[in-house]
Structure 1
Amino acid sequence: QPAEATEAGTRSPPPAPPLWAQNGIFSGIDGRTMAAAAAISSEEGRGRNESYFHKSGSDLVKWARGRGAWVHANVGVSNGCAGGGPGLRNFGEKINCGEILLRIPPSLFLTPAHPPHLIKLRWGGVNGDEKEIDGDEEARLSRLLGDLGGWERLALRLMAEECSVASSPWAPYLRCLPSTYPLPISWKAKHRQALKGTSIDVGAERAIIVSFFKSRILPLLKRKGVTSTQGG
């Protein structure tokens, strides 16, 4: 969002609403409800500070360049982007319209893994402690993974990498991800209660997601060795 130029100088634009609030499904919500929800979202999202992201962001850029990516000299990773959360930011001089900011080679893409690849990748043990998988177990895992869609396999791939973050090729990227996601659907129970009766009551949608997780994802995690999960 560009700054607004005036005769008195340059004035910064007003803060952008949280990214979830910019979704079209929330259009028409009264200002008071939206302001209260945005305040809760901000509270839920507190955690890693800007100095943490400055270091981990620098590590991420250094890692990406070392793996063949090209990153504009003035671009870095910050936790102070519009709408909240980590993202790219200009840390240097003005970047002209049309300048290339990033060139990312396909080797750095974290993509939905095909079932056999995901099983062999990191699904044999916990925290990088790999173990042999017999043919029957591999077949069972393949059937479970084969029922998942692309974004579901991508989420599972990400979770598998995070289980072994110390040895993951994407470790610098994983360390830049937020520790919490302050979307209304993931708020703590006391905060979700405040949304009941409003047009952004997410109770029903959350119940569907929880049911899907318990029936489709949790069985895979249990085979990985995870016996419990945390949730609000």
Structure 2
Amino acid sequence: MNAVLSWFATNGGKIDSASVGFTEFDGAGRGAVALRDIPEGHVLFKIPRSLILSTTTSALPRRVGLEQWRARGMHRGWAGLILCVMWETANGAASRWAPYLESLPSTFDTPMFWSEEDLEELRGTSVVEKLGKADAEKDFSEKVLPLVQSRPDIFPPETIPSFYTLEVYHIMGSRILSRSFDVERDEEEGEADVGNTSSGSAMDVDEPHAPEQEDGEGSSEDGEAEDEDEDDSIVVSMVPLADMLNARYECENAKLFYEKDSLGMMSTKPIKTGEQIWNTYGDLPNAELLRRYGHVDLVPLNESTDASTSDPSANPSALGNPGDVVEIRADLVLSVLDLPPQSEAKTKERIDWWLEQGGDDVLILDSDHTIPPALISLIRLLQLDDADWAKTVEKDKPPKPKLDAESMGVVIRVLERRLGEYPTTVDTDIALLLQTTNTELSLNKKHALAVRIGEKRILERTLEDARARVVAAAVAASSGNGKKRKAGEELEAERNTRTKTQRKR
């Protein structure tokens, strides 16, 4: 750590060493700690733009030749940045970032490196299908390795077995996934058009003096920038020192902000002496935390308890991540509806239209236990007869998410089918968690349990609510109060009430 701090200061970095220290935290690795009381808006350290490592600051793209760099597709995705980090590492002491690169981890607890046995523990979650391991290996074999082998003047053949292997590629990719920032391109770098890695890095950087801005604004969850102009101005970058801060659900007390010639890490609230200095990953669900960073957040689910002082070992069954979500794929909805084979072409037409209208092919269920309006709208769309389908297309608007009795029946079957994708029940998982000691379960299996339990809790609670609402609507419809309210109307009225009163996330 001393070598990194010395390198940082020698190259123009500034740190308030009286306020900020770095230490090892049990179970969380290295992090930053307040050495004295820090007020809100205090600059903890500043990183010169020259110390940021990206495809625009590394000399590699220009050594290769910008035209060839783009011709080989190195400006798309993360392949270019990963190769830059590999090359800078291979250069050893000759690299501007040598001390920093030497300090980065080479082992990870992310599922990318799990065994098949451990990955089986994540069955039913969305983690495995999002690992992107096959895509990464395709990029390596089709883009990175051919470039490396074609330029022995830049990549000496004797260095390839040590610095340019698939294993090293995965390690460097994991470093970037877990530690990078979305940084706005420096205007002076704009002429060197080496392209941009896609968004989806660990953290973003805010405009100066704007701590209220939301994290990740302008980027979609899957890492694709929503606006092409904005995409051209953002570069995924490694930011020394800033990437040493840990993060935890709703504990953020510092964030990185733009300044003219540097990036500044600034406190966003008062920090007391001895407290950890937390950055933010956007309060992600445990599935994403595990996939990207190799850890999960476990905080008390009782809102009256202070998350920052929780002890996960006290009562593991009472802990979880309030940001957990469950993903429901559109093809699962199709399988529940069990539409006749002869309607396959019509179904595809409707799905394509749904996507063109901005609908998602993955629907999100969160801890509010509210049925997503998009799920209801999609179900109604797929059940329209031909005449109503034609009217919907003419209106150029998906059906309203009116939750009638028929739609609710489909929703319940969708939730049941989704819950059935996990090989175990939530009660089984909790019992396993309570009956085993810390030494009887591997870290990977503990993390998998946390992800599974969080998702199943959401599904089971939402399913319970949905079934209760069906029963209540049926009772109301058959009661002798003279109102003769239809079950569907009862469901719709109840849904509207829940929407108005549901708590904010």
**TM-score, scaled to structure 2:** 0.27
**Rg bigger for which structure?**
2
Q: What aligned pairs does 1:165-204 form with structure 2 within 5 A after superposition? A: 165-202=92-129
Shift of residue 118 of structure 1? 1.0
Superimposed CA distance per residue, residues 89-126 of structure 1 (whole angstroms, 9 cap, x where no aligned partner): 125222222110111112212121489x41565x7xxx
Relative to its length, the structure with more strand (as a share) is 2
Task: Write the distance in 2 (CA, Å) between the matches of 1:79 and 1:141.
Answer: 43
Pick one of 60, 67, 82 that aligns with 1:118: 60
Task: Write the distance in 1 (CA, Å) between the matches of 2:24 and 2:140.
Answer: 29
Aligned to 1:94: 37
**Which letter maps to 2:46?**
R
Task: Write the distance in 2 (CA, Å) between the matches of 1:65 and 1:139.
Answer: 32
Pick one of 145, 164, 167 that aligns with 1:230: 167
CA contact (8 A) 2:79 2:139 kept: no
**Which letter maps to 1:102?**
F
Shift of residue 210 of structure 1? 2.0
**Which letter maps to 1:118?**
L
Shift of residue 156 of structure 1? 1.5
CA contact (8 A) 1:75 1:92 kept: yes
1:75 aligns with 2:40: no
Superimposed CA distance per residue, residues 158-181 of structure 1 (whole angstroms, 9 cap, x where no aligned partner): 111111223222111112211123
Name stretches of at least 5 consecutive residues in structure 1 with no aligned partner.
Answer: 1-56, 124-137
Number of residue-to-residue matches in the alignment: 158
SS in structure 2 at match of 1:169: coil
Percent identity for Structure 1 against Structure 2? 29
Name stretches of at least 5 consecutive residues in structure 2 with no aligned partner.
Answer: 171-505
Task: Write the distance in 1 (CA, Å) between the matches of 2:145 and 2:124.
Answer: 31
CA contact (8 A) 1:145 1:153 kept: no
Superimposed CA distance per residue, residues 33-82 of structure 1 (whole angstroms, 9 cap, x where no aligned partner): xxxxxxxxxxxxxxxxxxxxxxxx2221121111111111132344438x
Shift of residue 201 of structure 1? 2.5
Shift of residue 152 of structure 1? 3.1
Greater relative contact order, per chain length (Cα 8 Å cut-off, separation 6+) = 1
Over 3 Å counting, the alpha-carbon distance change for 1:184 and 1:162 in structure 2 is same
SS in structure 1 at match of 2:21: strand
Q: What aligned pairs does 1:55-66 form with structure 2 within 5 A after superposition? A: 57-66=1-10
Aligned to 1:103: 46
Over 3 Å counting, the alpha-carbon distance change for 1:113 and 1:72 in structure 2 is same
Aligned to 1:149: 76
Shift of residue 215 of structure 1? 1.6
Aligned to 1:205: 132
Task: Write the distance in 2 (CA, Å) between the matches of 1:140 and 1:96.
Answer: 49
Give the superposed CA RMSD. Answer: 3.3
Over 3 Å counting, the alpha-carbon distance change for 1:191 and 1:197 in structure 2 is same
SS in structure 2 at match of 1:102: strand
**Which letter maps to 1:107?**
S
**Which letter maps to 1:63?**
W
1:218 aligns with 2:168: no
CA contact (8 A) 1:192 1:201 kept: yes
